[in-house]
Amino acid sequence: MGRNNVFESSKGLSPVSLWRGMKTFHGVLLIGLIFLPGCGGGGAGGESQSVQAQTDPCNNGLGNGDQIISGPPGPTGADFDQPFRSVAIDPGNPNIVFVGTEKNGICKSTDGGTTWDRLRYGLWHGADGYSEAWDIAIHPQGSATGLFLAMTGGPLPITSPNANAGVYRSTDGGATWVRKNCGISNHKTNSVIYDPNNPNVLILGVEGGFPSGTEAAGQYQDGGLYRSTDGGANWNLISLPTYANKQGYWHLRARGSAPTTFYTFAFNYIQLSENLGFLRSTNGGQTWSQFAPSLQTKFIVGFDVSADQQTIFAIERDAFTAYKSTDGGTNWTSMGTNGNGPIRVSPANVNLVLFADATNKLYRSTDGLSSSPQEFTLDDQVQDIEFAPSNPSIVYVATRGYRIYKSLDAGGSWTKIKNLRAEVLNQ
């Protein structure tokens, strides 16, 4: 194992003192948006639910987050030890890397992946471990300034005693976390992103649906896109075209400079004909418009946008087809690849594209998918691919089983640098 866990090795520093030292946000939304009270971090320990509801109406309190647990020693049932889309690289330092896990918290490296810490303090957990860490957003000024984590659980109201997921914020590089669920519909969050031009603004994706267990059974939980203008202290539902109570899934990307342009693809995986499809905002997430109607009802599970916002790549799941637009999403061409997962375009070269299939293959194209790409065989299915923002020659890939790969030549060659399950989580 690498460095010891920051909490388990700091014998003289109790979890309580760490919690009390955290920075939290208190405040209200700006004029013109829905007024919501600021939410603090109370409501832990022996408070009754009625008292907690008065002092902590958003259920953001510490809960059981001061109890650091190990999490399961391996995947169980339908689990696959998935990192989801949770690889995140510090914008100013390519050696600082975060990887989310399925039920085991967060892993962080500060030396380019050689050694790793586990970060869990403040994250709520259930009997079977922590919630699924689906997405990590890093503050434009760096991870020491701010982090947001979108954790996913079965769709439940945020006030449910079993709602351990939701959106979490850290202001100390991930060492401690506090929930920031004020205003969202349920705790099944799966996408979060900062506005790089105004880091007080964030966009959050929440998935709707019916709970799978007996708690709140039959009570549909709405999903949607949410926006915060106060650093995540409060969230407001964004009005979207034709949006209704649907089982939505939100995959967010942001590209460009001022004005910030956000992109998402929203699908209803129960009924694709009800997809909202591609949505774009050019005013920091305030309003959104649909585009690319030819792709609206497709099962788009991966997409990326070039730095100049003119070239967009999208992958349709189970059709093994990639689509490409070179005019900002107006016209599209089927590229006929065997992609079936994440896809990323280099921020430094619009023709350099990395994508994955449904097995253990990773592909690299240097001509924008025009010809057969270079192929790499990894140990398991690729779930996330990320170029380092400050040095696009450095790329990290995470597969199922928490195997982390790294490239120093923009994907031309790969080295497996860590098996997080065997070398970190189970140590």
Over the stretch 331-357, which tens digit does the pLDDT of each residue have? 999 998 889 999 999 999 999 999 999
Looking at 220-260, which runs of residues are DSSP E strands? 224-228, 236-237, 248-255
Strand order, beta sheet including 117-119: 88-89, 97-100, 106-109, 117-119
pLDDT tens digits, residue range 144-173? 999 999 999 989 999 888 999 999 999 999
Q: Are 13 and 5 in contact (CB under 8 A)?
A: no
* Cis peptide bond N-terminal to 259, omega within 30: yes
- Asked which of 18-32, 52-66, 177-191 is least confident by mean pLDDT, the reply is 18-32
Instruction: Say yes or no to pLDDT of 59 above 50.
Output: yes
- Asked which of 62-76, 252-266, 278-292, 397-411 is least confident by mean pLDDT, the reply is 252-266
Domain boundaries, the chain: 61-68+80-237
**pLDDT for the residue numbered 355:** 98
Fold classification of 61-68+80-237 (topology level): Methylamine Dehydrogenase; Chain H (2.130.10)
Length of the chain (residues): 427
**pLDDT for the residue numbered 209:** 87
SS3 for 290? strand
Q: How far apart, in whole angstroms, are the C-alpha atoms of residue 237 and residue 42? A: 25
**pLDDT for the residue numbered 294:** 97
Instruction: Say yes or no to pLDDT of 16 above 50.
Output: no
Q: Are 175 and 149 in contact (CB under 8 A)?
A: no
Q: How many CB atoms sit inside 10 A of residue 248's CB?
A: 26
